[in-house]
Amino acid sequence: MNPNLKSYLAKKDYHKITQDCILWIRQWFAENGPSSPAVIGISGGKDSSTVAALCVKALGKDRVFGILMPDGVQKDIDVSHRVVEYLGIQNAVIDIHSTVEAVKHSVAEGLKDAAFNTQSLTNIPPRVRMTTLYAVSQTMNGRVSNNCNRSENFVGYSTIFGDAAGDFSPLANLTVAEIKEIGKVLGLPREFVEKTPADGLSDRTDEDAFGFTYEELDTYILTGICDDPATREKIEKRHAANLFKLRPMPEFQPEA
């Protein structure tokens, strides 16, 4: 681990941060859904596993519902199954593949077979997943978790109205490195905390898409240090280009 990042993490009390987050979730539900379950998309990675574990601590396992949403065949879906089994939470598997294909077909037909660009194709599944989460959540008067973290948000690695949506967001101000520390405090198995971050929809990892590592990104976010100028430029360029995702939607205000 980068020594600057290691030093930063060592100065923080992640036991306290974990307990504070649990209390925050409990209070949020007391105010916004006293009898509602937390509805969580389970990928098998550290983010959704940590959110689910935090919610179990805050609400009890009977008020946490996990949704596994493969897009057809997902090679690591077995990890998602192990997460819900480990936590002992109710869950359902909903294959989004037919819906994703229907959207692609309908849009292509409506646009007279205009070719999709890569970004459009990539963002359809996350938006279908979020639609699915809300369909389940509203059926059981639940509240949907946003599982995005500070690292992803900083470089815009999220889909507006897809995984960037949700009703409450426990990890938005915590980097990947910090979430791993919380995972350790919660006693989550290493395979959940250290699972290689990927969207579960393509063959690329997050770091493949970035062109730099989460360790480099977290070090820059938390300490302002980046040893490689080229990597710093990539991070800053991504951050600047995606700031609109972090801001409230601009609204026109007519003069009184």
- The 10s digit of each residue's pLDDT in 140-150 is 999 999 999 99
Structure tokens, 152 = 């992803």
Beta bridge partners of 256: none
- Sheet of 90-93: strands edge to edge? 90-93, 64-68, 38-41, 143-144
Distance, in Å, from the CA atom of 237 to the CA atom of 248, rounded to the nearest integer, reads: 21
> What is the pLDDT at residue 113?
66
Would you call 248 helix, strand, or coil by DSSP?
A: coil
pLDDT tens digits along 22-48 = 999 999 999 999 999 999 999 989 999
128 close to 96: Cβ distance less than 8 angstroms:
yes
Beta bridge partners of 24: none
The structure tokens 């179990």 sit at 56
64 close to 51: Cβ distance less than 8 angstroms:
no
Residues of the chain with pLDDT under 70: 113, 198-203
Distance, in Å, from the CA atom of 171 to the CA atom of 69, rounded to the nearest integer, reads: 21
> What is the pLDDT at residue 198?
66
What CATH code is assigned to 12-198? Answer: 3.40.50.620
> What is the pLDDT at residue 199?
55
Distance, in Å, from the CA atom of 196 to the CA atom of 175, rounded to the nearest integer, reads: 15
5 close to 218: Cβ distance less than 8 angstroms:
yes
φ and ψ at 23, to 5 degrees?
Answer: -65, -35
